[in-house]
Amino acid sequence: MTKLTSLDLTPFYRQAIGIDSLFDRLMHNIDMASTKSEGNYPPYNIIKTGEESYEIQIAVAGFAEGEVEINFHEGQLVITGEKNTDDSDTQYLHRGISARKFIRTFQLSDYVEVRDAAMKDGILTVSLQRIVPEEMKPKRIAISYAK
C-alpha cells in the first residue's frame, strides 16, 4: 500500500473558484491522518437516515452520565470519554471491559449541524442534519436578450 505524502492541487485551482478552503481542509485532514491514529476504540457506525440526515453511533458501554462529552466547533465534532471511577482498591481477576479514555473526532461538511445526542443501551447516538440556507441552494439565472 502506498502512502500519500504530497498532493499538488494546482490544476484544480484553475478550474474552481472560491473553494480554496475546501482544498486547505483536505490537506489538513491528510496531514492529521498521517500523524495521528485514533485506533478502533470505541467502535462506531455512521448511518444515513434520510436525504440530508445522518447518525453517528458510538459504543460507550460502561460510561455513566457525565463521563462522555460532545463538543462541536467550526465543523469539527469531538466526542471524548473518561471514566471518573477510582478502582485502585479493586482486585480484578480478569478485566475484559475497557474503561480507557477516548477521543473521537469527526470533520463535518458545510451546513451539517448537530441536532441532538442520546445514550441508550450503551450506544451514544448523535443526530446530524444538513441544512443548506436558501441563498446557498442552486438557482437558475434568467438571460436577458438585447433587441
pLDDT in tens, 49-84: 998 899 999 999 888 899 999 999 988 999 999 987
| Whole-structure pTM value | 0.66
**Would you state the pLDDT for residue 95?**
79
HSE-CB for 16 with a 13 A CA cutoff: 11
Which CATH code is given to the segment(s) 39-136?
2.60.40.790
Query: What is the CA angle 10-13-14, rounded to 5?
Result: 100
Range in 8-12, 42-46, 48-52, 88-92 with the lowest mean pLDDT: 8-12
Per-residue confidence (pLDDT) for residue 91, from 0 to 100? 85
C-alpha cell at 41: 476504540
pLDDT at residue 35 in the model:
44
The segment(s) of the chain belonging to CATH 2.60.40.790 are 39-136
- Rounded to an integer, the average pLDDT of 119-127 is 94
